[in-house]
Structure 1
Amino acid sequence: MRLTASKLNKFLLFKLPAAFICGVRVKEIDENKCVVSVKHRWINQNPFNSMYFAVQAMAAELSTGALVMFQIQKSGRKISMLVANNKGNFTKKATGRITFTCNDGHLIEEAIRNTIATSEGQTFWMRSIGIDEKGIQVSEMDFEWSVRVK
């Protein structure tokens, strides 16, 4: 079974309902890139009339984590994944539709290969960039993922 945007969105509904209710949706995924979108609405706003930072973090994390899930599935092995660390930078108010893109899928394959070969945990950083409808960057988030063979 191949991981697709619609399967990931169904996963959100049942396993991450807060993200689903806030409008976080996977738009596109392949082995190197994942695109996640969320629209500023009443349910996900902050008191300053823009998107709450945690909603942006959910969408950004999903754009990186979905790629990790994709590569784990591709490996055919039972491998655990966990966010070990994260950092974010917010450069503009997030209003309208924000699209988070991660292009770091290539980083995961080597970490999975190493954890399978050594049975030791591996960590790697992935970046997701949030862009508004005008093409202006509103946030940039980095997530340190840890993977290890179960």
Structure 2
Amino acid sequence: MKFTAAQLNRFLLFKLPSAYICGVRVKEITVEKCVVSVKHRWINQNPFRSMYFAVQAMAAELSTGALVMLHIQQSNQNIAMLVVTNKSVFMKKATGRITFVCQNTHLIETAIQKTIETGEGQTFWLKSIGANEKGEPVSEMDFEWTIKRK
């Protein structure tokens, strides 16, 4: 699969339909960053008139996971990936359009190189920061990924 926003959104439709139905969409992906957006709507609300935390987590995880997938594909190696831990901090009500950005790709590159060289599994943390339309952070989500050569 070629890693474009359109291809990843098609992937969502067939492989992660709950994220797709809730409005999670990849807006941009490069080797340096991934941008994922979701708009607060009836389908993804909580009882407190803001976006349900799990919808934010889906968007944030996608921003990190898509980058891992891209870097694995570019390595031309058969590498498995899995989230093992996640942490979240919520600073503000998530209303309107929330955009999650992950940019710390050097950690992915280092872990892939180590797992290729040693054959052993590697773990690393990636952070995704969600901001509202005013640019104010609403949540920060950290995901611990593990990768291993198959």
- Tell me the TM-score normalized by structure 2: 0.98
Amino acid at match of 1:144: E
Q: Which 4+ stretches in 1 moved above 4 angstroms?
A: none
Aligned pairs for 1:1-150 (under 5 A) are 2-150=2-150
Question: Is the 8 Å Cα contact of residues 81 and 146 (structure 1) preserved in structure 2?
Answer: yes
Residue type of the partner of 1:12?
A: L
Deviations 1:28-86 (A, max 9, x none): 00011000000000000000000000000000000000000000000011100000100
Separation in 2 of the partners of 1:134 and 1:142? 22
**Maintained 8 Å contact 1:79/1:149:** yes
Letter in 2 for 1:88: S
Corresponding residue SS for 1:112: helix
Larger mean CA deviation between 99-108 and 21-30 belongs to: 99-108
CA contact (8 A) 1:31 1:106 kept: no
Whole-Å separation in 2 of the counterparts to 1:12 and 1:58: 11
Query: Structure 1: which 5+ runs fail to align?
Result: none
Task: Please give the alpha-carbon distance, in whole angstroms, between the structure 2 residues aligned to 1:100 and 1:122.
Answer: 25
Identical amino acids, percent of aligned pairs: 72
Deviation, structure 1 residue 105:
1.5
Shift in Å at residue 134 of structure 1?
1.0
Structure 2 runs not aligned, ≥5 long: none
2: distance between equivalents of 1:32 and 1:110? 14
Q: CA deviation at 1:107?
A: 1.1
Distance 1:82 1:133 in 2: 31
Q: What number of residue pairs does the alignment pair up?
A: 150
